[in-house]
Amino acid sequence: MSGEQEAGSFDFDLAVIGSGPGGFEAAVRAARSGMRVCMVEKGAIGGVCVNWGCIPTKALLRSAEIFRIAEESASFGLRIDSSSRDIAQAVKRSRRVVLTASKGVEYSLKQNNVTVKRGKASFADKHTIKIEQDRETVETVTARSIIIATGGSARQLPGLEFDGDIIISSREALALQSAPEKMLVIGGGAIGVEMAWYYNAAGSAVTLVEMMPQILPQEDVEVGEGLKRSLVKAGVEIINEAVVKKVEKSGEGIRAVVGMPDGGEREIDANCMLVAVGVVADTEELVLENAGVETERGFVKTDEQCRTNIGNIFAIGDVSGGMLLAHKASAEAAIAVKAVLGEKTGALEESLIPRCVYVEPSFAGIGYTEKQAMEEGRETRIGWASFAASGKANAYGFREGFVKLVFDAATGALLGGHVLGYGAVELIGELTLARSLGVTAEQLSSTVHAHPTLSESIKEAAENALE
């Protein structure tokens, strides 16, 4: 189909490939703007986030939290004579949560008159998409503009390819019907940490191997160290500066040879191994070359407006790289739709995107770490507050963690905020808003916070920076 067509001759004004957070947001926004919108989805509506990522993970982590609270219930005045963990029931509940979320996405698409087409999408040219089912083309649609929102999938390591049974990705980890006696987790990023925490709470003996000096290697050093202490205290073994050199499968599971930080080697036996070492873009099936779309390091290359090198084609979310977060994809969707409509918007600044890890104590951060600020030559003032000194944290029974705030010494503006502690992911909103508005330490410290709350620690950290 020629790209010289008149706009009115296209089947749709916009076609969106993928129904995850970014694709869904783009489709609904475009439809509400009056565009004729088509969405193509090969899997379950809602994409990876709803079906095999954010939502089921958080549902299982809630089960893990309940397991831990039940173990400590006597200190709160509730004596449980006997209890057992039912992992199959936890998974069943998580799938119910997923189904509800997926149906909600489907309902919203229908209410906004988005045409949903099921099947695998690939480009025929820059305006034409082929839709396949069972390896046969069932339909071809044309669109004036196209947004690629196909997301990503777990990266595989050579020699550690997923078999879905013994060597698994997070997708399989979300569906195991029982906790393995021993689990080896490769990767100390958000996914590896969350799954290690969940399976430890579920009763598995978990060993986590991370090649960098700290878990969550992109975050503040104190955050990595503090979270490691909490995980080790809970029973997770963590080995930093280590690499898996060799893995042998057996009927019982795997035996891994791990290169240790002291230069020696250690053999680790486990029933299964979860590999969580990053994400690759899901572009293989799109046949991008037919549209002339360029990639860089496997991700679709885009500009500040989420536009590819082909003017009518955009890419958002994990498929275009950067921070691999659902809310980042949604934010990019707004930018892309405005660009499709011919409106100019500012680029999405990654330092304004919050980052969260949903274990307990949980972590949430925004903006610069202290190290990053120093590397940019900024003079900083640091504010600290410990949850051990928080009345609400003590009442909850969760005293671990802290608030660390990084301010510009010259202007007083907040550069970064880092919270490690119970409910941290629910506290980050205030710091995200403060970072976005350039709020200063003085303004934060003078803002009245309710007492007793966990959020008081943000005020106290700001006050500490002014001392």
Please tell me whether residue 310 adopts helix, strand or coil conformation.
coil
Listed by start position, the domains of the chain span: 7-153+280-348, 167-277, 352-466
Neighbours of 261 (CB within 10 A): 12
Q: Report d(CA 283, CA 285) in Å as an integer.
A: 6
Specify whether 451 is catalytic: yes
Neighbours of 177 (CB within 10 A): 11
- According to CATH, the topology of domain 167-277 is FAD/NAD(P)-binding domain (3.50.50)
* DSSP structural state of residue 401: E
Q: Report d(CA 213, CA 272) in Å as an integer.
A: 24
- DSSP characters for 6-75? -GGGSSEEEEEE--SHHHHHHHHHHHHTT--EEEEESSSTTHHHHHHSHHHHHHHHHHHHHHHHHHTGGG
- According to CATH, the topology of domain 7-153+280-348 is FAD/NAD(P)-binding domain (3.50.50)
- Tell which residue, 1, 96, 2, 7, has the closest CA to residue 341: 7
- What sign does the dihedral 6-7-12-15 (CA atoms) show? positive
User: CA 457, 387, 353, 42: dihedral to nearest 10 degrees?
Assistant: -140
Same fold, 7-153+280-348 and 352-466: no
- What sign does the dihedral 166-171-177-181 (CA atoms) show? positive
| Per-residue confidence in pLDDT tens, the chain, 467 aa | 344 455 569 999 999 999 999 999 999 999 999 999 999 999 999 999 999 999 999 999 999 999 999 999 999 999 998 889 999 999 999 999 999 999 999 999 999 999 999 999 999 999 999 999 988 888 999 999 999 999 999 999 998 999 999 999 999 999 999 999 999 999 999 999 999 999 999 999 999 999 999 999 999 999 999 999 999 999 999 999 999 999 999 878 999 999 999 999 999 999 999 999 999 999 999 999 999 999 999 999 999 999 999 999 999 999 999 999 999 999 999 999 999 999 988 899 999 999 999 999 999 999 999 999 999 999 999 999 999 999 999 999 999 999 999 999 999 999 999 999 999 999 999 999 999 999 999 999 999 999 999 999 999 999 999 99
Q: Are 385 and 460 in contact (CB under 8 A)?
A: yes
Architecture of domain 352-466: 2-Layer Sandwich (3.30)
